[in-house]
Structure 1
Amino acid sequence: MNDMITGNNIFLDLNIDDNKFDFFTSIIDALAQAETELLVLNESVNSIKNLKQQCDKLDYILAASSGALCGIVDIFLVGKPEESFLGDITDKWFSARTMDFAKLCHPDKKSFDNLESALRFLEKNFKVPYDQTGLGDTGRAVFDLNAKNHHFKSLAHNPSLLGLFFSILNQFTNTSHFVTDGHLVSLQQADEKWELQGKNLPSKLFCGFVNWFGHLVSDVAGSQSSARKVNRGMGIPSPFWIWTNDILAIKAKLGLNITETDKSMNELALKIFEQGYDVRFQTTQAIPVFLNEMIVRFIYSVRRLFKYFSETSRSDQSFKLMWEKCEPFSNPSVKRMLTVAHGTFCLIDVGDAVGKAFVSGKGTFNAVEFVLRLNIVGVGRFAISLYGETKRAISYSHAKNEVDFAVKEIIIRNYIEGLKVLSIKYDDTRLLTFVDDFQKSNAYKDAFGKSIALAELRNVSANKILRNKLDIDKYFGGK
C-alpha cells in the first residue's frame, strides 16, 4: 500500500508481502515533512486566534451603554431636518466652509462677510447650463420643477459619478436632464448664452469637472435668495438617496421597465429632500455614529492599557508590546464591541423612528416621518459590523474544521520526537513509520502480525516482540 490513508491512520510508502516490509520514505524526509506541517499548524493557530474575540461581560456592558448614550443623543439632538440642534451647528459649518472656498477661488483671496456674497461669486464663476429652477425659465416645461426640488430632480446636481457624467454631458451638449414622475426628461438648448470653456477635449473635460464641483459647493449651503432671507435653503441631495434617481435614469437610457417600486422610492426620496434631508443633515446624522465609534475604541484601549501595566513587568514593557495589546483597530474584540454598540444605537434609533411615525400618522405608519428620523448612517455602520462578524465567523469555522488544533499539534510533536529517536537507532530507509493513532487502525492486527519478521531482523528480544492480538492490545492499552 503506497501513501494509504485509512480513517485516521497513515502509512508512508509501505509495501507488505508474506516475508518482509519495504519502505520508500526515509526518516529524514518524513522528519522534514512533519516539521513543515507543524510550522503551518502554528501559523494556522495564530491566525485563528486573531479571529476569536476575547470580550468579557464588562466589555459588552460598556459597549451597549455607549450605544444607548449615543442613541439618546440622536433622538434629542439630531431628530429630523429643520428641528435639529446639531443640524443648526452643521449648517453653520457648511456655510463657513462655503465662504472659505469662495475666498480660495477669488483671484485676490478676498474674504466674504456673508454667505450671500460668497454664493453670488461662486454662481457667477461656476456657471452651468442645467440650473433651471422652474421660475420664469425653460424649467417650467418640466413637470412640477421648482426652486425647492430642482437640486434633487436635476441629475447633474447629484454628488455621484452619475451626476458627474450628466454634468459633463449637459455642458458639452448644452442640455439639462431631469427625473420627474418616473421619467427622464431632457431639455435641449437649455441656456442660449452657454459656452463651455477650453480649446481642446482635455481642457474642456477639466473645465467641465471644475464647473460641476464648484457649482455643487455653491449649492451645498443653499441659494443666494435663501441666504438673503436668512433661511436654511435647499442644499444638494444626500448620497444615500440619489440612487433612486440613478435607477430611473439608467433604466430609461437602457429601455428597461420602470416599476412602481422604483417610482415610489424616488417619490419618497424627493419628499424627504423637500423637507430638508440633504447632505448637511446627512452629516449631522453621522455625528452620534462617529461619537459612538470613538467612545467604544477609547474604552477598549483604556481597559487594555490598565491591564497591560498591571500584568507586564517594568523590564518587559515596550511601546511595541503596549500597542499590540491596546490598539483599538484591527483586533476582533474591539470589532465585537463596536457591533454591540452600533446595534444598540440602531435599536434605540429605529424604535424612536417607528414610534414617531405612528404618532405623526395618528395611528397609521407615516413612511416619510420614519425615514426623516431614521439614522441611515448608523444603520449602514451597523450593517458593516454585521458583515465583518459574519465573515470572521465563517473564516473561524473553516479554519477550525481544517485543523484540530490541540490534538493534531500534540500528535505531530510526538511524531517528530519519535522519528528523531528512531533516526538515531536505525540509519536506513527500511523503517515502519507510525504517524497517527495507530491503535485505532483497522489494519493494525495484520500489520503487527507481519512485523514479527521485521522485529527478529532488528534483533529485538523475544519477550518484547508482539506476537498476537493480546500482546498488541496490552501494548496499546487495549482491554
Structure 2
Amino acid sequence: MDDDLLNDVAKILATQHHEQTVANQRTDELNQALNGVQGDLEKQSRTQVDAQSALDALDAESVADNQLDELDQILGDMEQILTAKPTVSKPVTKFKPLDSVTPANDWTSLVQASNEYADRHELDLSNPYYQMMSTREFSELSTELVNKFQISRLQKVDYVFSSVVGVIMGLVDALLVGRIKTGKDATGLQKTVDQGFDKIVIGAGRFSRQSELRSQKAAAIKGAAGKLTPSQLAQWDQRIKDAGSIDKHRAIKTLEKNFKVSYDAANNASIIGDGIAGMSANNHHLRSLAHDPGILGLITGIVDQLTGKATFIDSTGSIVRATTTNMEKDGVIQGPLPVRIVKATENWFGHILSDVAGSSGAKGRGAGVPGPFYAATQSLNVGSISIKGQDMTVAQTSDWLYKQGLDFRAFAAQSIPVLVGETLIRMYWFAKQHFYYGLSVQQSLPTGKNPDVNRLLLTMTSVFGALDFSDATVRSGFFQNMGEFLLRLNYVNALDLGFRSIQVMRNEAKHSQLTEKIDRDIQQEWDRILIP
C-alpha cells in the first residue's frame, strides 16, 4: 500500500479519534451538570417531605395559640420565598458548540477537511498514528517495539559516561602502567604485579617443599617402624618449618624439580639432535608452545608429556617436534590414559608456576612465560618494522618485545585499567537498569548478549585506545622511535578493542536480519489483508 495513502487514512482516523474524545469529554461535563441539578431537586424534595411530615404530625387540639402564631409565621415566610424572584446561587455553565469535520463527498475533500479541523484545534498530524493512542497505550507500544525490534535504549548520557570511563582508563594506563620495562627497571603497576607474582610463586614453592618434606617424614617414620627418636622427629619438623621461609630462587628450584616436564629446554644444548633455530636462554619460553599459559599451552603440554616430545616454533615460523634431555617423571608415562592426562595437567600447571616469574637461574626480573597465544606470533614472518635501525618482521618484533619484558606479567599489568573500565561500565549499566528503569536483578545483569552493553564497552575501549595510541605516538617522537612506541602500547586493550568491534558488528548484523524478517512478516500480513 502507498505510504501517502496510509498517512491520509491515519490523519482522518486521528481527527475522528479527536472528535470522539472531545464528545466523550462533553458527555462527562453534561453528566456532572445533570448530577448537580438532580442533587438540588432532591434537596428541595427532601425539604418538602420534611415540611409535610411536620404538618401531618401536628395535633390541632393540643396546639397553643402562640404555637399557631409561630406556624402562621413560618408558612408566611415559605410563601414569601416561593413567590419571590429567583436568584442565581451558582454560576451558569455555558457549553460551546462541538466542532466537527466538515462532511465531504470525495476523498480529497475529506482529507482537506480533516487537516482544517486539525489546524483549528492545533492537532499535530506530523505523526498521526500517535494521536490515536493514549499516553499509556503509546508507552506500552513503545516498549513492545523496543523489545521486538531490539531498538537501542542508550541515551547521550550513557555514551558520555562510557567516554569518561575510557579517559580514566587512559590516565591510569599512562600514569600507573606506562612503558614496559625489564629487569629491575619495572615501575608502577608493572612492578606491583611482578611483586604479586613473586609472592604467588614463593608461596607455591614453599607449599610444595613442605608437602614434599612431610611425605618424606611419613616415609621415614614408616621405614623405621615408628621408632624415630624425638631428636630425629624434631629435625624433620625443623626442616618443614624452614621450608616455609625459602626465598624466590629456592621456591622456583623446588617447583622445577617437583614438576619436571619433557618439553623444558633452556637452550639448544638441551635438544637432542638438531637445535631449534632462533632459540636462546632468554626466549626459550616463547619458542616452546607448551609454555603458553592458556589453552594452547595446556593441550600442547599434555601431548608433549604423553609422547615424550617437545613442540617449538623456530625462527622460520615452522613447528618443530624435538626430544629434550629432560624427561618427565615415570608417573606421567605410566598407568591408564586418564591418570596420565591428570598427572600431565598437574605437571603443566606446576611448571607454569615455576616459570611465570622467571627461571631459577635468571638474574633480576627474568623472562617469564609469554601471554596466551603470544607464541603464535613467531609464525608471522611478514612485514617490516624498523627498530633501532634494524628491519624486523612481525615475528622478530614480537620476539624483541618479549625480551624487553612483554611477558605474562606485563600483560597482567596492562589488563588492570581494562578491568577497571569493564567493572565501571557494568556497574553503571546494572544500577541504571535496576534502580532507574525498575527492572529485576536478572533483567539488569550486564551480560555479553546485551547489544547496548557491548556498545558502551566498545565506546569505552575505543576512547581508551585513542588516548593510548596518542600517548605512545607523542612519547615516541611521532614514530621516530618505533621501539618506544611499541613498548608503550596497551596490547590488552588493543585485543579488547578488536573483540568488542567484532562483537558489535555481529550484533548489528543479527539486528539487521531481525528487522528485515519483521518487515517481511508485516508486508505479508498487509498483503493478506488488502489483497483479496
Q: Tell me the TM-score range normalised by the shorter chain.
A: 0.5 to 0.7
Cα distance, 1:74 vs. partner?
A: 1.1
For 2:159, the equivalent position in structure 1 comes to 60
Cα distance in 2 for residues equivalent to 1:332 and 1:188 = 47
What is the aligned partner in structure 2 of residue 48 from structure 1?
148
Residues 56 and 100 from structure 1, CA distance in 2 versus in 1: closer, same or farther, beyond 3 angstroms? same
Kindly indicate whether the alpha-carbon contact (under 8 Å) linking 2:271 and 2:323 is maintained by their aligned counterparts in 1: no
Q: Does 1:342 align with 2:441?
A: no
Aligned residue for 2:353? 217
Letter in 2 for 1:54: R
Q: Is the 8 A contact 1:356 1:370 kept in 2?
A: yes
Percentage of identical aligned residues: 26
Q: Is 1:89 the counterpart of 2:206 in the alignment?
A: no
Q: Deviations over 1:316-356 (max 9, x none)?
A: xxxxx443674433544333222211111111112223333
- Are residues 53 and 185 of structure 1, via their aligned partners in 2, closer, same or farther at CA, if it must alter by over 3 Å? closer
One-letter amino acid of the counterpart of residue 180, structure 1: D
1:266 has 2:368 as partner: no
One of 504, 507, 511 as aligned partner of 1:389 = 504
1:84-233 equivalences under 5 Å are 84-105=187-208, 106-107=211-212, 108=214, 111-134=244-267, 141-168=275-302, 170-172=304-306, 174-182=308-316, 184=318, 190-191=324-325, 196-197=330-331, 198-200=333-335, 202=337, 203-226=339-362, 229=363, 231-233=364-366
Q: CA deviation at 1:235?
A: 0.4
CA separation in 2, counterparts of 1:220 and 1:394?
A: 41
Query: What's the CA shift string for 1:158-180, capped at 9, x where partnerless?
Result: 33455445544544555444333
| 1:282 alignment partner in structure 2 | 411
- Structure 2 unmatched runs, 5+: 4-140, 215-239, 385-391
Instruction: Tell me how far 1:66 sits from its aligned partner.
Output: 0.7
Between 211-220 and 321-330, report the one with greater CA deviation. Answer: 321-330
Question: C-alpha separation between the residues in 2 aligned to 1:135 and 1:397?
Answer: 55
Provide the rounded CA distance (Å) in 2 between the counterparts of 1:333 and 1:178: 42
Partner amino acid, structure 1, of 2:398 = A
2:529 maps to what in 1? 436
Partners of 1:325 and 1:163 lie apart in 2 by: 37
Q: Classify 1:161/1:67 alpha carbon distance in 2 versus 1 (closer, same or farther; 3 Å).
A: closer
For residue 488 of structure 2, the aligned residue among 347, 364, 373 is: 373
Give the direction of change, closer, same or farther, for the CA distance of 1:209–1:324 in structure 2 (3 Å limit).
closer
Alignment CA distance shift 1:101-1:407 (3 Å):
same
From the CA coordinates, give the structure whose radius of gyration is larger: 2
Quote the Cα distance in structure 2 between the aligned partners of 1:400 and 1:177. 49
Gaps of 5+ in 1: 1-5, 9-40, 249-257, 313-320, 413-433, 444-479
CA 1:146–1:54 in structure 2 vs 1: closer, same or farther (change >3 Å)? same
CA RMSD of aligned residues (A): 3.9
Which residue of 2 is the match for residue 291 of structure 1? 420
- Asked if 2 retains the 8 angstrom alpha-carbon contact of 1:133 and 1:146, the reply is yes
Higher RCO (CA 8 Å, separation ≥ 6 residues) = 1
Cα deviation 1:218-253 (Å, max 9, x = unaligned): 000112233xx5x211100111422224x47xxxxx
- Whether the 8 Å CA contact 1:272–1:372 is kept in 2: the answer is yes
* Structure 1 residues 239-254: aligned runs within 5 Å: 239-245=372-378, 247=379
Task: Return the TM-score normalized by structure 2.
Answer: 0.57
- The alpha-carbon distance between structure 1 residues 205 and 101, as it changes in their structure 2 partners (threshold 3 A), is same
SS in 2 for 1:385: helix
**Counterpart residue number, 1:323:** 441
Deviates more, 1:282-291 or 1:348-357: 348-357
